[in-house]
Amino acid sequence: MLRTFIAIEIEDPAVLKKLIEVKNYIAGVGAGIKPVEDENIHLTLRFLGEISQHSVEEVKRILTELKSIKRFNIRVKGVGAFPSITRPRVIWAGITEGAEELKRIRSIIDKAIVEHGLRDIKPDEHQFVPHITLARVKSSHLFAKLSTLISELQDEDFGVTPVTTIKLKRSILTPRGPIYHDLFNVTLA
């Protein structure tokens, strides 16, 4: 079984640099914040979980079907939190332009998972909100300070980055954090 997800990486170096700077700024608030490692910053299109090698091969087929989708840009803008700004457990950078394209791709993937009968991939009960996770909050005593900081960053513009590739990635959990490996890439038209 492989722990997997489908992702888009941040291709523009200036956008990635700004995401890292803001992530590090947020992490400076306190010890109860676990920032995403620089090399792990990405946008998850679909978390698949622990799946069989058979399902991995089927997901590769599904992703190959996406190659006719035209490349597009996304604008990374704003900082927010799940479940809310007042109770921030996950701090993220939002997507403004390109969000509809991402939602359409996610919908195609979800439909194909069902059509291919991949029962080891659980349905995602949450509405898909395109975002880039910057940090996870482990300590509730930082909520007030973080809430103020997130409010200050809600209009932060990280810039525009192209979406040219969709990746199937493996996540290996370690005590120091996850390590990601590319399993398969599909280049958009």
Q: What is the pLDDT of residues 45-100, one digit of tens each?
A: 999 999 999 999 999 999 999 999 999 999 999 999 999 999 999 999 999 999 99
State pTM to two decimals: 0.95
CB-based burial label for 125 (10 Å; 0-12, 13-18, 19+): exposed
- Average pLDDT value for the chain: 97
Q: Using 50, 70 and 90 to split pLDDT, how confident is the model at 125?
A: confident
Q: Which domains does the chain have, with CATH numbers?
A: 2-187 (3.90.1140.10)
Question: Is residue 186 predicted with pLDDT exceeding 90?
Answer: yes
CA atoms within 13 A on the CB side of 163: 25
Report, as residue numbers or ranges, the catalytic residues: 42, 131
Query: What's residue 42's pLDDT?
Result: 99
